[in-house]
Amino acid sequence: MARRSGSVFTGCGTVFLKELADHLGSGRMRILEWLVLLTGIGAVYTAIQDLKTTTSQDPFLFLRLFTNAHDPLPSFMAVLGFLIPLVAIGLGFDAVNGEFNRRTMSRILAQPVYRDALLMGKFFAGLATLAVALVSLWLLIIGLGLIMLGVPPSGEEVMRGGAFLVVSLAYGGLWLALAMLCSVIFRAPATSALSALGLWLLMSVLWPLLSRFLTEAIFPTTQLTLLTGPSYNQIVFQQMLARLSPNTLFAESLLGILDPSTRALGPVFMTQLEGAVMGNPLPLGQSLLLIWPQVTGLIAGVIVMFVAAYIVFQRQEVRA
């Protein structure tokens, strides 16, 4: 095999800057930003109504902003679970096929850069855009909290908030890479957007139901299980299935990082709880250890999706 000469990163920065400027200036981004902003503020606002009554007792008051749900609105955490994929898909669904449709692809690839630079530049620009949106949203929530609650966040809360940003970014990156994969596979942007959104619906709405049905098919309900409840194996199996969805991984990670009293994400035996003080918060390090597998899974998902997009893109013919 002949080795290519020159760096694959040549031009990556140029593509990154151009795409970032495009994203931040595009009308699509405006709409998505407003969507994130309004829902975020709505969720936080209602959480604050609840929290005002409990200010003095809670050591992690600020984190409650993210996790408190107030009927009929879901918690901010849950809203993000829906919105981040939407924003990410919005940023990525026409990344590659858009270049083909504008007929700019062959012109760009005739410049002394590898295709790698184009794909990577676009991916990192999307990720940076997501990061900008998330950080500003996060700061907005802290600001709202400061004004409406009148107490500053503790150092640990800020650090947990930082971890929350990283996890959200990994989750967004996964959907961004998936949307880009769709944009490489499908030439029509509408098809690409629809298939990415379809997968998102499957993962966030249908997969939890499906994983339960599949588990029941494998572990059928018997007289015994009706009495004793589901077996340990059944619970573990169902959880494993559910964790194939990035939404589950994201929800579990956020639960672990934003609710310090979370001690385990899987089934726990009574014997393991012996001596534990229920509801007592875990230190940050322990919480991070708890969600480490989930975060690893998310990052692995990002890499798998990106590599898939990369391989398909490299094999694609330049001519339409």
Partner 1 sequence: MSELDRNADVVVARGLTKRYAGVAAVDGIDLTVRRGEIFGLLGPNGAGKTTTILMLLGLTESNGGTIQVAGADPMRDPLEVKRHVGYLPDAVGFYDNLTARRNLRYTARLSGLSRDEAETRISDALARVRLADVADNQVATYSRGMRQRLGLAEVMMKRAELAILDEPTSGLDPQATFELLDMIRGLKADNIAVLISSHLLDRVQAVCDRVALFSHGKVVLEGTVGELARQVLGGGYAVEIEATGPNLPTLLAGIPGVQRVTDSGDGKFQLVAARDIRAELGKAIIGAGGSLMRLDHIEPSLDTIYRHYFEGDHGAA
Burial of 27 (0-12, 13-18, 19+ CB in 10 A): exposed
Nearer to partner 1, 110 or 217 (CB): 110
> Which residues lie closer than 8 Å to 127 by C-beta, 6 or more apart?
169, 172, 173, 176
104: contact with partner 1 by CB under 8 A: yes
Q: How far is residue 166 CA from its own chain's centroid?
A: 9
From the list 230, 228, 227, 200, the residue with the least C-alpha distance to 215 is 230
Return d(Cα 16, Cα 13) in angstroms, integer.
5
Helix or strand holding residue 94 (H, E): none
CA distance 36 to 44: 12
Q: Does 2 bind partner 1 (CB under 8 A)?
A: yes
Each residue 194-233 as x (binds partner 1 by CB under 8 A) or -, in order, gives ----------------------------------------
Distance CA 39, CA 83 (A): 9
Nearer to partner 1, 94 or 157 (CB): 94
**Footprint (CB under 8 A) of partner 1, residues 73-102:** 102
Q: How far is the CB of 28 from partner 1 (least distance, A)?
A: 12
Give whichever of 4 and 56 is closer to partner 1, judged by the CB atom. 4
- Work out whether 108 is an interface residue with partner 1 (CB under 8 A): yes
Please provide the DSSP assignment of 123-159 as one string: HHHHHHHHHHHHHHHHHHHHHHHHHHH--PPPHHHHH
Output Rg (C-alpha) for the chain, integer angstroms.
22
Q: Which stretch binds partner 1 (CB under 8 A): 108-116, 132-140, 207-215, 272-280?
A: 108-116
Instruction: Report the Cα 195 to chain-centroid distance in Å.
Output: 18
- Is position 103 an interface residue for partner 1 (rule: CB under 8 A)? yes
DSSP letter at 208 equals H
d(CA 219, CA 208): 16
Would you give the binding string for partner 1 spanning residues 280-319, x where CB under 8 A is met? -------------------------------------xxx
CB atoms within 10 A of CB 258: 25
Contact window for partner 1 (CB under 8 A) among 11-19, 122-130, 188-196, 269-277: 11-19
| 93 in Cβ contact with 101 (< 8 Å) | no
Give whichever of 104 and 233 is closer to partner 1, judged by the CB atom: 104
Contact stretch for partner 1 (CB under 8 A) within 9-17, 47-55, 73-81, 215-223: 9-17
Q: Least separation, in Å, of the C-beta of 104 and partner 1?
A: 5
Nearer to partner 1, 95 or 137 (CB): 95
Q: Does 107 help bind partner 1 (rule: CB under 8 A)?
A: yes
Q: Tell me how many residues contact partner 1 (CB under 8 A).
A: 26
Is 28 an interacting residue with respect to partner 1 (CB under 8 A)?
no
Which residues are near partner 1 by CB under 8 A? Answer: 2-6, 10-11, 14-15, 18, 22, 102-104, 106-114, 317-319
